[in-house]
Amino acid sequence: MKIVIIGNGTAGITAASTIKKRSPSASLTLITEEIYPYYPRPNLIEYMAGRIKLNELFVRNFDWYGKMGISLLNKNRVIQVNFAEKEILLESGGVIIYDTLLIASGSKPNIPRVPGVEWVKVFTLGNLESCFSLREKAGKEGEVLIIGGGILGLEIAKALKDTSVEKVTVLEQSDYLLSRQLDKQGGELLGERFQNMGIKVVYTAKTKEMVPLDSGSKVILEDGREFITPVVIACIGTSPEMKFLRSSGLQLNRGVVVDRYLKTNIPDVFAAGDVAEFEGKTWGIMPAAFEQGEIAGLSILGEEVEYRGTIPSNRLKVAGINLFSMGTVNPLPDDKCTTLIKYEEAKGVYKKAVFDETSRLIGVILLGSAKGANQMIRLIKESKNCLQYGQDILEDDFDFEAIY
């Protein structure tokens, strides 16, 4: 059986590792348009900030693929898949034949869909090449405007600030930061931290238009506010990379639609990672890519393990800020949830735990101190009833083993 994986990101490399560990003799080819061996996307931030060297960015080197018996076709872009003939067409003109295919092509950064954007150079951070370009331009100009105050936007803001980019401004659509991961109090506290770092955060900032200038670009907001900057960076999410799959007979929606075994509607074709859609959701987060990659690898080998979805969790990798968020942190009034909060203003610590009506922990925010984050992950995943421990569960020295 000839197995082919399209994509060398976290889902693809996890699936490849899983397959080779279970079946060392399996014929496995991995196709990627990138030049480089595997690196986790979060490492781009560390490299941009100067915290790691270029060679430290890579988790795998080219020798690893050979030792694992994986044929790596790098610098090869897939332009079409003929599922009827089980053929993969490459931009170079080559054709790859497969018996079983895993689509793990990842996602691409979104660009604001506003008038004038086609005339403006908008930087994104999707791969190492874009990281090189962004770091060079930002360092040269000393000023950037970041559209999007999500996890990636904030990490880029701090990374560039740490590399002596003097003026960093973040435009956030909501009235507080990380509205999907935090509640209002936590988001406002986080915003204060960034302001204190010298990073300007502008709230309720919805981009209306972009205008090219000789000195850079003008970004106009819906409320009329204007910002002139030499460098515009978009951090407004990603979209599954599936252009090469259009009109192929594969079921596509927001992503490549898969079942609980990561199978698509076409026999012998699987999908995992950012490109996959399960139960109407595309995840776009590292934990989901790991889980789906492993399960897809097992499914390809005939070991059917069910994927049940991934509970969203986020960590903000910014020096001086410890932030962890997972699960439901903004329950609706009808959800009948119990919420516990611990706020120590002097220490800059804000913690929140959300329990459902059966006393199960379903969401948590840890800001200022992320102690207990791994234990909280376990409690949420295992649906543990632990409301009876009350505020103690938010203490740094809480004994989580007592719950078990």
Beta carbons of 142 and 49 less than 8 angstroms apart: no
pLDDT digits (tens, 9 = 90+) for 337-357: 999 999 999 888 999 999 999
- 3-state SS, one letter per residue, for 230-283: CCEEECCCEEECCHHHCCCCCCECCCEEECCCCECCCCCEEECHHHEEECCECC
**C-alpha triplet 202, 207, 209: angle, nearest 5°:** 135
Predicted local distance difference test score (pLDDT) of residue 4: 99
Q: How many CB atoms lie within 10 A of CB 282?
A: 20
Beta strands in 83-121 (DSSP E): 87-90, 95-97, 100-103, 107-109
Predicted local distance difference test score (pLDDT) of residue 380: 95
Beta carbons of 324 and 315 less than 8 angstroms apart: yes
**From CA 373, how far away is CA 51, in angstroms rounded?**
24
**From CA 49, how far away is CA 53, in angstroms rounded?**
10
**From CA 152, how far away is CA 318, in angstroms rounded?**
11
Predicted local distance difference test score (pLDDT) of residue 247: 81
Predicted local distance difference test score (pLDDT) of residue 319: 65
Predicted local distance difference test score (pLDDT) of residue 314: 87
**From CA 233, how far away is CA 134, in angstroms rounded?**
8
CA 294 from chain center: how many Å? Answer: 17
**From CA 401, how far away is CA 111, in angstroms rounded?**
46
DSSP β-ladder status, 207-213 and 216-221 = antiparallel
Spatial neighbors of 348 by CB under 8 A, at least 6 apart, are 189, 193, 367, 368
**Among candidate residues 288, 269, 276, 273, the one with its CA nearest the CA of residue 252:** 276
pLDDT digits (tens, 9 = 90+) for 283-342: 999 999 999 999 999 999 999 899 999 988 888 877 678 899 999 999 998 889 999 999
Residues of the chain falling short of pLDDT 50? none
pLDDT digits (tens, 9 = 90+) for 367-389: 998 899 999 999 999 999 999 99
Q: Which domains does the chain have, with CATH numbers?
A: 2-108+238-300 (3.50.50.60), 117-234 (3.50.50.60), 320-403 (3.30.390.30)
- 3-state SS, one letter per residue, for 344-395: ECCCCEEEEEEECCCCEEEEEEEECCCCCHHHHHHHHHCCCECHHHHHHHHC
